[in-house]
Structure 1
Amino acid sequence: MKKTLSGECQKGIGPVDLSLTLHTLDSNPISQDYTQWNLPTGTIARLGKGRVSDVLNPPEIAYAPDGNLIAVASANGIWIYDAQSVKELCFLTGHTLDVTTVCFSPDGATLASASGDNTIRLWDVQTWTHIQTLKAHACRINNVTFSPSGATLASAGDDNAICLWDMQTSQITRTLTGHTDRVNYVVFSPDESTLASSSWDATVCLWDVQTGASLQTLTEHTSALSRVAFSPDGKTLASSSMDKTIRLWDVKSGESLRTFTGHTGRVTNVLFSPDGEFLVSTAMDFDTDVRLWDARTGTPIKLLKGHTRKVTSLAFSPDGSTLVTGSGDSTVRLWDVQTGTCRETIADHTFRVTSVVYSPDGFMLACSGWDETILVIDMHTGEELIRLKGHKADVVDLKFSPDGKTLASACWDTDARLWDVKTGTTLHILSGHTDLCTCVVFSSDGKTLATASNDTDVRLWDVATGKLLMTLTEHRESINSVAFSPDGKILVSSADDKTMRFWDVQTGALIRTQDNLAKYVNSIVFSSDGKTFVTASNDKTICFWDVQTGALTRTLTGHTDGVWSVVFSPDEKTLASTSRDTTVRLWDVQTGTHLKTLKGHARLVYTAVFSPDGKTLATGSSDGTLLFWELTPNLVN
């Protein structure tokens, strides 16, 4: 497969065979060449463009000065769209962690991006090549912005510092310190004399750009700041906060002029229209409307309705006629400001992928995590077979029945569901848990389903009737994982109480408690002979245990953060593990030798699953993407 160098843009190449072409996660799938753009080494396709929703890192979206391009910062790269057709033009990669912000230079020739990898990258807009990498911050960089002349770039980070860069020399001219917590946004005044910054320390600071001196500190907000914006004439400053308010300030005197209230959630964004006539704001906490306000009077003008989750990013087109917003509902939307209608929707900026599962025959793949729906894909054609709807919150775990006809789902709406995969109908709603349902698993004969919850209970259900068989109640904290032994006689559960409990499935009796764990176990999987089970733990280890005695027989180390899940390959020669450290590791089961580290995700990797033939590994991540890895001998070894 054709690859491009890291740090370059890739445009359309021929479709990959998975077997034919993978399609989008949107409800109307179309062939997507971009599923192969700038793929990580070893992967053959990508579903999802990466999440754009990160509450305190606006703006993740930027218009080019001429209004022809839109840049969207996602967890795994930067997507460039045609502003009129919203067609994907380019995908920029090179950052090693999630991209937090993007900004065009005033002349439109350069794009600046920043990342959780502590770096700033500069890109040539004409060729989309990487020009330079700037390094100075000791922590994650939350925002970058050009001065109106383009001569200076300002950056803000988790190290509480602001750096000013000379764009001619790419050197730091000044470092501004004074905030006592992370700085998440900076903006220049129109005359370039003043820089405003907002911080988690609940203050806005005004700085003299020439001298670096602190001019004023604005302290009326009672919680973390999310964004600041100058009016076009530079006389007024707007600030948005987690205290659910927007404030207007007189820049010269520092006086608080007006407070806007009305949002029911924490305010994530505020921005003046290019003509300065009105303000636009967004919020979180189920406050999904985009609000337009009269900038002079504070009177609400209109609500833009359409997003179904928190809206964290926004940008105006240069002429002010269009507003673009990014949301945790996996979409970027373009709005007609005059009418308040949504003109275009860019899909597939998935918030996260928490569960992925192949059907036993390998013909279908089901995935979930970014909303209340479950997507089932035909793996021969790449077509969406069906989208299962009914849950009222995030779906966090999926399992196929052994015969492949039924799919079980666990959801944060507290319910589990059984679905007929062919028709998409709900067979049974399994209600009874009183807190988030966290996981589901079928017994080997497919007759029993186990569900677990943050309510500390494990419940066993009759699959045919949907009736509750028994409730297992010994855990003291949220349950993370459940697994049946291959013969279906034993159920093992793990919880935040740092224990694993072994249950007799027939009687519900507690057989044994493993309570000498350093940290809680996130995942449990049995070997096919039932003699061994393997656990993934938050203490960064993978442990092999003897089922009969409970003895620890082997510990695998190498991950640099908590291990989230483990899974055997179909032949049980290889074990795959996923981690908060953003990697997937492959291990030799016989020897415990580390075979390979798969790097391609930008955030926590929730899940991994082998295809039934063992040739492909699918991984889902908090970065909002699903990656398919081709397990060739060269990759593994």
Structure 2
Amino acid sequence: MKFAYRFSNLLGAVYRQGNLNFSKDGNAVISPVGNRVSVFDLKNNTSETLPLSTTKNITCVGLSPDGNLAIVVDEDGAALLISLITRAVLHHFHFHKPVSCIRFSPDGRKFVVAKDNVALMYHAPGKRREFNAFVLDKSYYGPYDETTCIDWTDDSKCFAVGSKDMSTWVFGAERWANLIYYSLGGHKDVIVGCFFEKDSLDLYTVSQDGTLCVWESDTEPSGLVLKKSKPKPSRRGEGEEEEDGEEGRVEGEQGEVIRGKAETPKETGKTKNVRYKLSSKHFFNKEGDFNNLTAAAFHKPTHILVTGFASGIFHLHELPEFNLIHSLSISDQRIASVSINSSGDWIAFGCSRMGQLLVWEWQSESYVFKQQGHFNNMASLAYSPDGQYIVTGGDDGKVKVWNTNSGLCFVTFTEHTSSVTNAAFTSSGFVIVSASLDGTVRAFDLHRYRNFRTFTSPRPAQFSCLAVDVSGELVSAGAQDSFEIFLWSMQTGRLLEVLGGHEGPVSCLCFSPVQSILASASWDRTIRLWDMLDSWQTKETIPLTADALYVAYRPDGQELAVATLNGELSFWNPHTAQQTGSIAGRHDLEVGRKEMDKITAKQSAKGKSFTSLCYSADGETVLAGGPSKFVCIYNVKEQMLMKKFEISCNLSFDAMEEFLDRRKMTEFGSLALVDEGAGDGDGVNISLPGVRKGDMSSRHFKPEIKVSSLRFSPTGRSWAATTTEGLLVYSLDSSMVFDPYDLDLDVTPATIRKQLRLQEWTSAIVLAFRLNEKALKQEVLETVPHDQIPVVCGCLPDIYVEKLLGFVAACLEKSGHLEFYMTWVQNLLMLHGQKLKNRSGAILPTLQALQKSIQRHSDNLSKICDFNIYNIRYAIALSKQRGLKRAAEEDEEEEEDEEEASEKMSEASLEDVEMML
């Protein structure tokens, strides 16, 4: 049960490369992130990463029209057929070459894959089980260079393919007599997008140099004539090949081959071929010579064309008139992908260099969704005390705060001017402290989202580590160049003390959770314990056998874990300075071999060690990670490895494989060292570092897989790791584990329900917890009458109090029965408070899980209450205003009545006077 952690979510990265897709209802964006796929729900503002991955980075995603299936293809051409309903992989396939685009037909019966200079049309996988889900139907040859884009007509009769050879080809999906293929020119650069007009064969083509061509067809889609099937001749003539196609075996499957040529196909019989003419040509306003058009999308019902440029600008045009609706700059980096949702209201933009994903509502000109990950490595992370938030610091100098429930970043602090080396929450959970190589330590307020304190040293220093004490009053940071530790007061911002004594860079700092003692690890092979109450003197110096890289206190403060450069984990008693245990973990790291390495992975592993570790919430296990794709969990007491987690299987990263592929080895060494484009036959030139063929100024960088920081959640239900891939969160999946307690033959669901019918509430709860099935426990708990809760809590055996409290905390997080479960919590804490206090260390994760659930409900309810209060105030003010208006109207009516009465009286008196006269 303790080690049943499974991949839960990927934070810290929202988009890397590839094409974006909207879901069928248009409320979610499907984004490729490295070798995984993330789904961002725009209505509920949540994110989810699918529990599947490819072997390399994903380059394109094809979504079926009904939104149930997706095909993802990686850099090598390996494809996965995914069900977006069950989140499961249905089929594996390999196209053997990189795929540039994949597109389903609108009727969902076919899909076309563009690779090299060929378009392959497959039968879409149906609902029935098939041995081979991908059945090749036809192969279409025509372009001379790589194909780049695909679009279908609305009736799925034809599709168009754009190419790098500046031509666009229109192919018939069926064997039409008057449209086999048609080649369109008119451009001077690579085709970026080709789009059919709604219910028409008219076509728009967009090229990289910012040119739009509008092509008109002389035939309607209904005018396509199906070719009559003829008996196959034994031998084909040359002239018949282009009309009839030829049978061929492609990718090992039977399929027709249609070869297009530059000239128009011959007309057969009385059937007149479909012809196109260029009706107009438009040019986009270019900001400069290098402002290439990089992405395009077209919404057929509203005739809106969206184009993204290398400068970060995008345009909205209405076609075919080419009227500019508006233009906007979203960043200064290249827009890699553009997508429009089904209603045409929202436009998604992906920027691969910045790792940015934006959703723009063009009618109101506002952002619906705006997320950006760290576009360099993440260096550190920390959980908030209630486990609801995670703060990360990156090499890009940004500090980001992520919500663990939604998986989204809600605030970014950009005050640092260099890499952030460490970040931490204070005990209150509302202040974040971060250290940076720019020589500052900054404190950020999560209430007002501002930097309210900046701590600096007398002489400029690069801070490599950070620690905040339990009270949140003392802030310490270690310098990697001056070997000193600086202490500041959070309250005043003043520098309190400079602690000297280390003879090497300070690599890690950690405050004791229960005392005012600071532990510092250094490269001088010592751990020093500093007493904060006794004039900041060195309390103890612990000698080590190698350089100390990381130090961590156990949650109860009774043990220290130290990671050293020789690959060992050592455990120490901080009171007696005696070593209590040691684990040799170098072989457990299993470091991979880099492409440039001249030595084997086994030899390379001898110089590697754990660089980050942390204790679990109960202090029984320790989590360790380093420059490897593995994270290890060790049992401290038994000093043995319990489980290894493989955090990534993405071969696009370096140091992933233990052995080099022999196929990549040449007589000149590894292919990674050999210039691909150089040489004139016999000679092979070794290129400059990073330079490849093509643009000699471009650099090729392959990031190395590593784990830079690890943290257990305070609730003990999950742990997070900052890796090259992003911020990975692993959670306990209790539904997959059967973990009964004190079970015997009499404990069955029937027995438990019998106890419920007899109204033996306490007995039913005890039996349910012994069987330990979540649904059954919830059923028993919610059957107990509200007024019987105090009685049941009072009669509960001590051993089940903690179990019940943990289960109530888990239920409270998702249940709508807020008052009911809060009553359980209140009674359990009030009646068993003293017993729980005695075991405070063991039940701390349970209490923190409870705090997290209550805090989340409190935040949600406070928003609703505020909204209701303002609504009520508005209603009262409105009623008062109407009452005053009504009163004023009544006063006016009374005055008018009095005036009328006085007038009548005056008239009557005048009549009386006249009578008397």
Normalised to the residue count of structure 2, the TM-score between the two structures is: 0.44
> Which letter does structure 2 place at the counterpart of 1:281?
G
Q: Does 1:441 pair with 2:464?
A: no
Compared CA separation, residues 594 and 298, structure 1 to 2 (3 A) = farther
Q: Is the 8 A contact 2:162 2:192 kept in 1?
A: no
Q: Which piece of structure 1 moves more, 272-281 or 346-355?
A: 346-355
Give 1:576-591 correspondences, 5 Å limit: 576-578=623-625, 584-590=631-637
Aligned to 1:450: 477
Compared CA separation, residues 629 and 306, structure 1 to 2 (3 A) = same
Query: Aligned to 2:508, which of 478, 482, 492?
Result: 482
Aligned to 1:608: 710
Q: Does 1:42 pair with 2:5?
A: yes
Report the secondary structure of 1:273's partner residue: strand
Aligned to 1:281: 308
- CA–CA separation in structure 2 for the residues paired with 1:584 and 1:304: 44
Q: Does 1:429 pair with 2:454?
A: yes
Q: Is the 8 A contact 1:485 1:530 kept in 2?
A: no
- CA–CA separation in structure 2 for the residues paired with 1:599 and 1:635: 23
Report the secondary structure of 2:585's partner residue: strand
- CA–CA separation in structure 2 for the residues paired with 1:439 and 1:264: 46
Aligned to 1:58: 18
> Which letter does structure 2 place at the counterpart of 1:555?
G
Give 1:15-34 correspondences, 5 Å limit: none
Q: CA deviation at 1:120?
A: 2.0
Q: Does 1:304 pair with 2:328?
A: yes
Q: Does 1:72 pair with 2:27?
A: no
- CA–CA separation in structure 2 for the residues paired with 1:321 and 1:472: 61
> Which letter does structure 2 place at the counterpart of 1:610?
F
Aligned to 1:120: 79
Query: Aligned to 1:94, which of 48, 52, 55?
Result: 52
Compared CA separation, residues 440 and 61, structure 1 to 2 (3 A) = farther
- CA–CA separation in structure 2 for the residues paired with 1:162 and 1:335: 36
Q: Is the 8 A contact 2:502 2:522 kept in 1?
A: no
Give 1:329-478 correspondences, 5 Å limit: 332-336=358-362, 339=363, 341-342=365-366, 344-345=368-369, 355-358=380-383, 365-369=389-393, 372=398, 374-375=400-401, 391=415, 397-400=422-425, 407-410=432-435, 415-419=440-444, 426-431=451-456, 439-442=465-468, 447-451=474-478, 460-464=486-490, 465-467=492-494
> Which letter does structure 2 place at the counterpart of 1:314?
V
Aligned to 1:104: 63
Q: CA deviation at 1:145?
A: 1.1
Which structure is richer in relative contact order (CA contacts within 8 A, separation 6 or more)?
Answer: 1
> Which letter does structure 1 place at the counterpart of 2:122?
D
Compared CA separation, residues 151 and 195, structure 1 to 2 (3 A) = farther
Compared CA separation, residues 306 and 473, structure 1 to 2 (3 A) = farther
- CA–CA separation in structure 2 for the residues paired with 1:266 and 1:452: 44
Q: CA deviation at 1:228?
A: 3.0
Q: Is the 8 A contact 2:295 2:337 kept in 1?
A: no
Q: Is the 8 A contact 2:10 2:49 kept in 1?
A: no
Give 1:490-501 correspondences, 5 Å limit: 491-493=520-522
Q: CA deviation at 1:280?
A: 1.3
Report the secondary structure of 2:112's partner residue: strand
Aligned to 2:92: 133
Give 1:253-272 correspondences, 5 Å limit: 261-262=286-287, 269-272=294-297
> Which letter does structure 2 place at the counterpart of 1:397?
N
- CA–CA separation in structure 2 for the residues paired with 1:62 and 1:87: 15
Q: CA deviation at 1:449?
A: 1.1
Q: Does 1:558 pair with 2:559?
A: no
Q: CA deviation at 1:341?
A: 0.9
Q: Does 1:187 pair with 2:149?
A: yes
Query: Aligned to 2:729, which of 615, 627, 636?
Result: 627
- CA–CA separation in structure 2 for the residues paired with 1:546 and 1:266: 58
- CA–CA separation in structure 2 for the residues paired with 1:89 and 1:526: 33
Per-residue CA shift, 1:324-371, capped at 9, x if unaligned? Answer: 2246677541422xx471363377999897644345x65775423599
Structure 2 unaligned blocks of 5 or more: 125-131, 153-157, 173-182, 197-201, 216-261, 264-280, 531-535, 593-609, 651-705, 740-917
> Which letter does structure 2 place at the counterpart of 1:60?
L
Compared CA separation, residues 357 and 80, structure 1 to 2 (3 A) = closer
Q: CA deviation at 1:270?
A: 1.5
Compared CA separation, residues 427 and 179, structure 1 to 2 (3 A) = farther
Aligned to 2:236: none
Per-residue CA shift, 1:218-266, capped at 9, x if unaligned? Answer: x999xxx9x9323556674523xxxxxx55599989xx99797438999
Q: Is the 8 A contact 1:101 1:115 kept in 2?
A: yes
Q: CA deviation at 1:623?
A: 5.4
Report the secondary structure of 1:558's partner residue: helix
Q: Does 1:167 pair with 2:123?
A: yes
Aligned to 1:238: 207
Q: Is the 8 A contact 2:102 2:114 kept in 1?
A: yes
Q: Does 1:228 pair with 2:253?
A: no
Query: Aligned to 1:145, which of 102, 107, 110?
Result: 102
- CA–CA separation in structure 2 for the residues paired with 1:461 and 1:299: 62
> Which letter does structure 1 place at the counterpart of 2:616?
S
Give 1:5-16 correspondences, 5 Å limit: none
Question: What's the C-alpha RMSD, in Å, of the aligned pairs?
Answer: 6.6
- CA–CA separation in structure 2 for the residues paired with 1:135 and 1:362: 45
Compared CA separation, residues 472 and 196, structure 1 to 2 (3 A) = farther
Normalised to the residue count of structure 1, the TM-score between the two structures is: 0.59
Q: Does 1:617 pair with 2:719?
A: yes
Q: CA deviation at 1:288?
A: 5.6
Q: CA deviation at 1:121?
A: 2.5
- CA–CA separation in structure 2 for the residues paired with 1:532 and 1:78: 36
Structure 1 unaligned blocks of 5 or more: 2-39, 198-202, 240-245
Q: CA deviation at 1:533?
A: 1.8
> Which letter does structure 2 place at the counterpart of 1:79?
V
> Which letter does structure 2 place at the counterpart of 1:594?
L
Compared CA separation, residues 91 and 573, structure 1 to 2 (3 A) = closer
- CA–CA separation in structure 1 for the residues paired with 2:562 and 2:140: 53
Q: CA deviation at 1:423?
A: 7.7
> Which letter does structure 2 place at the counterpart of 1:196?
S
Q: CA deviation at 1:395?
A: 6.0
Per-residue CA shift, 1:477-515, capped at 9, x if unaligned? Answer: xx9953359796874357xxxx9898998899xx99999
- CA–CA separation in structure 2 for the residues paired with 1:374 and 1:142: 35
Q: Is the 8 A contact 1:330 1:348 kept in 2?
A: yes
Identity between Structure 1 and Structure 2 (%): 12
- CA–CA separation in structure 2 for the residues paired with 1:414 and 1:264: 40
Q: Does 1:154 pair with 2:113?
A: yes
Per-residue CA shift, 1:148-201, capped at 9, x if unaligned? Answer: 687453266xxx99894633662578799x999xx9x8323666464536xxxx
Report the secondary structure of 1:94's partner residue: coil
Query: Aligned to 1:314, which of 327, 333, 338?
Result: 338
- CA–CA separation in structure 2 for the residues paired with 1:117 and 1:516: 43
Aligned to 2:568: 543
Q: Is the 8 A contact 2:52 2:88 kept in 1?
A: no
Q: Which piece of structure 1 moves more, 387-396 or 604-613?
A: 387-396
